[in-house]
Amino acid sequence: MAKLEVVASRIFTAQDIVNDPIYAEREDIVEIEDADLGLSACRPSFPRWARVWIGVAHGPSLGQDNDLVLGEWLGKSDDELAALRSSGTI
């Protein structure tokens, strides 16, 4: 690749990125607290520009919106939701 002047690089896995000193120096890996996973390392969705930190956001926890979706949107009753919970479905 170098002989033919092709711009190329090895492909990084997620583990490679988390352990890479260049990513660490650039502060491209941050730790966030997740309700299900605990403290987790991740790469923000947006790059930093001029040291501006946009932050990290993630969606609701698994099952957090069950009552909204199943109850309010799909019309399941409280009894039906309780039955789904007791059976382990949700």
Write the pLDDT tens digit of every residue in 21-54. Answer: 988 888 788 888 887 888 888 877 666 666 666 6
pLDDT score for 34:
82
Q: Over pLDDT 70: what percentage of the chain?
A: 84
- CA proximity to 56, closest of 40, 73, 72: 40
pLDDT for residue 77 is more than 80: yes
Q: Which domain holds residue 19?
A: 1-44
pLDDT score for 54:
65
Q: Rounded distance, CA 68 to CA 75, Å? A: 9
**Number of structural domains found in the chain:** 2
Based on the domain organization, do 39 and 9 belong to the same domain?
Answer: yes
Based on the domain organization, do 4 and 37 belong to the same domain?
Answer: yes
Q: Rounded distance, CA 85 to CA 81, Å? A: 6
With a threshold of 0.85, does the pTM exceed it? no
Would 54 be classed as within a structural domain?
no
Residue 30's DSSP bridge partners are: 42
Would 55 be classed as within a structural domain?
no
pLDDT score for 11:
92
